[in-house]
Structure 1
């Protein structure tokens, strides 16, 4: 077994490496990275995603029909659920089906498979967008009609913590910051496309807080959380040391797109009104589009998040600076032809 990829906490914490891991959403950006990292450690890794990938032992399925893929998870020691509705524009019905019932389905499969630990991927979106600086795991989760993705993530946490409290299976929840790095569609490829079209708009002069975490740092945090006994029954924020402004992060995409100056800006109230109008039109026309009020709220977040709990209990310490992470990301964009 290779030990090169085992993260060691700052106080010497070394997570147990499972013999076998099952990952939902195994073909996604984070899922693929987890598959590679656990395989490098010698673990047997299987997974599920919307499309099968036999070369990587990934079967086709979704969270709403566990009977299709449950047998593939049999015997796994660690079950990691990264699958989710990756959208800020979905219906409440879909969020309930996937983020609540679907997560309960995953728990049932993990328990029937004999898994020792269940790791749920939530998000800092569960905190909403209007929270204090250095928000920690004690902060409220968001409820209400807006910010559907965050409300759904908060609901998924409830399902998982209830299973843990009932003694059904040991569970851990991770809330990643804004994960980026080679392979990131959400925070590299899509904003770059928007920048090239001149359509990247940041509310309030780009003053909203962004919490970038490089993919390799996220993997370290997840593996510590998944393999240490002190992480049982806990929620952890896994992010970078500090937040930056949206302007500071996305001006890189603007520059990569060979545009001068900075991304365009509107007051938040106007950006929300315009995006709400576009969202309604797209729904009438049955067009898939991520221009929603929620993306504008996300770009207007009021605070950074605290990783002190992950530091204290797990010894988690992010290693890749924003500057280095962006350099690696830019190189990847060039390598895959998205930049020339």
Structure 2
């Protein structure tokens, strides 16, 4: 059995294991992995999610109604907010409720519970889908009436930084790249289903840039950001060292599905038009659907993401190569019966 240990920082230091950790979105892909890692290190881990999981000390609740779960966070030393609107087609109202008012609710609960550090999960989506060059944490966040998920994430960062600036609680913001690995629904299970059905279609020849980060590398980065004093008041990109094309990443899913070649592609303008039509029809029929224009914008992302700041201040160093990470992912898909 592999010994679980805290990652080592830039100066050879390791964060202390927090006595008690509270995680929102604790049953999600990232939240569950974080909870297990902290639990393996000996921390008392509690959490909340939309559905209770009492076996893992997770109560039911959502960010807009903190009164249903705030007592469960009492006495936590570290509060990590991973809960979010996991959609690229939600309404502005839903994003506002969760990414603005909901994040402020989390801050209030963390402060009342006596937490020493608040870690907020944002996303590289806050930078938008048309970055130029190599984007670091100083780049502007996206604004506008499209790419709503990214706009909402940028707004959520404002809530957290304002609380830190006011001295309410020490805060840290993490912007993960495209997190994948065993357990990933968004970037393993769902794309594989689409590939099997022949419905995995990418815009612009699959040339968009993808920033895959393996779940174990993400956990190392988050623990360094959450546990080291160097993380206080900062935003960190926690991703892979290099990006790849969207086509390269999702060609693995195409191959796993038993298909030859690469996923089909269409021009971005056509992809936006078709998905916009499908999205509007689904809205009229009141049928939730993730076939939305912002999905195509995400797959057409440009630019690169710098992790130099996390390397310099935290000693973050992603270890898993994409080839090895995809091998682990394929093995998990086979073990869970998603691949024969």
| TM-score, length basis structure 2 | 0.98
Using the TM superposition, name which of 320-329 and 3-12 deviates more. Answer: 3-12
Distance in 1 between residues matched to 2:13 and 2:153, nearest whole Å: 28
Report the alpha carbon displacement of residue 3 of structure 1 after superposing the two structures with TM: 7.0
Task: Tell whether the 8 Å contact from 1:144 to 1:151 is kept in structure 2 after alignment.
Answer: yes
Distance in 1 between residues matched to 2:133 and 2:141, nearest whole Å: 15
Task: Tell whether the 8 Å contact from 1:8 to 1:14 is kept in structure 2 after alignment.
Answer: yes
Distance in 1 between residues matched to 2:150 and 2:16, nearest whole Å: 31
Match in the other structure for 1:280:
280
Report the alpha carbon displacement of residue 17 of structure 1 after superposing the two structures with TM: 1.6
Match in the other structure for 2:299:
299
SS in 1 for 2:59: strand
Using the TM superposition, name which of 168-177 and 13-22 deviates more. Answer: 13-22
Task: Tell whether the 8 Å contact from 2:64 to 2:98 is kept in structure 1 after alignment.
Answer: yes
Task: Tell whether the 8 Å contact from 1:129 to 1:301 is kept in structure 2 after alignment.
Answer: yes
Match in the other structure for 1:224:
224
Distance in 2 between residues matched to 1:125 and 1:53, nearest whole Å: 29
Give every structure 1 segment of 4 or more consecutive aligned residues whose post-TM-superposition deviation is greater than 6 Å: none
Match in the other structure for 2:89:
89
Task: Tell whether the 8 Å contact from 1:47 to 1:73 is kept in structure 2 after alignment.
Answer: yes
Match in the other structure for 1:181:
181
Deviations 1:14-59 (A, max 9, x none): 1122100000000000000001000111000000000000000000
Report the alpha carbon displacement of residue 208 of structure 1 after superposing the two structures with TM: 0.3
Match in the other structure for 2:133:
133
SS in 2 for 1:316: coil
Runs of 5+ consecutive residues of structure 1 not aligned to the other structure: none
SS in 1 for 2:136: coil
Task: Tell whether the 8 Å contact from 1:122 to 1:154 is kept in structure 2 after alignment.
Answer: yes
Report the alpha carbon displacement of residue 133 of structure 1 after superposing the two structures with TM: 2.9
SS in 2 for 1:143: coil
SS in 2 for 1:12: coil
Match in the other structure for 2:113:
113
Is residue 64 of structure 1 aligned with residue 64 of structure 2? yes
Task: Tell whether the 8 Å contact from 1:3 to 1:41 is kept in structure 2 after alignment.
Answer: no
SS in 2 for 1:144: coil
Task: Tell whether the 8 Å contact from 1:13 to 1:315 is kept in structure 2 after alignment.
Answer: no
| TM-score, length basis structure 1 | 0.98
SS in 1 for 2:79: strand
Match in the other structure for 1:103:
103
Task: Tell whether the 8 Å contact from 1:213 to 1:239 is kept in structure 2 after alignment.
Answer: yes
Report the alpha carbon displacement of residue 13 of structure 1 after superposing the two structures with TM: 3.1
Distance in 1 between residues matched to 2:315 and 2:331, nearest whole Å: 30
Deviations 1:50-88 (A, max 9, x none): 000000000000000000000000000000000000000
Task: Tell whether the 8 Å contact from 2:10 to 2:313 is kept in structure 1 after alignment.
Answer: no
Distance in 1 between residues matched to 2:273 and 2:59, nearest whole Å: 42
Distance in 2 between residues matched to 1:186 and 1:301, nearest whole Å: 17
Deviations 1:128-157 (A, max 9, x none): 000023210011100000000000000000
Runs of 5+ consecutive residues of structure 2 not aligned to the other structure: none
Using the TM superposition, name which of 11-20 and 266-275 deviates more. Answer: 11-20
Is residue 246 of structure 1 aligned with residue 246 of structure 2? yes
Distance in 1 between residues matched to 2:136 and 2:121, nearest whole Å: 17
Distance in 1 between residues matched to 2:117 and 2:60, nearest whole Å: 23
Distance in 2 between residues matched to 1:324 and 1:308, nearest whole Å: 23
Distance in 1 between residues matched to 2:152 and 2:325, nearest whole Å: 29
Distance in 1 between residues matched to 2:301 and 2:156, nearest whole Å: 22
The number of aligned residues is: 339
SS in 2 for 1:7: coil
Report the alpha carbon displacement of residue 164 of structure 1 after superposing the two structures with TM: 0.2
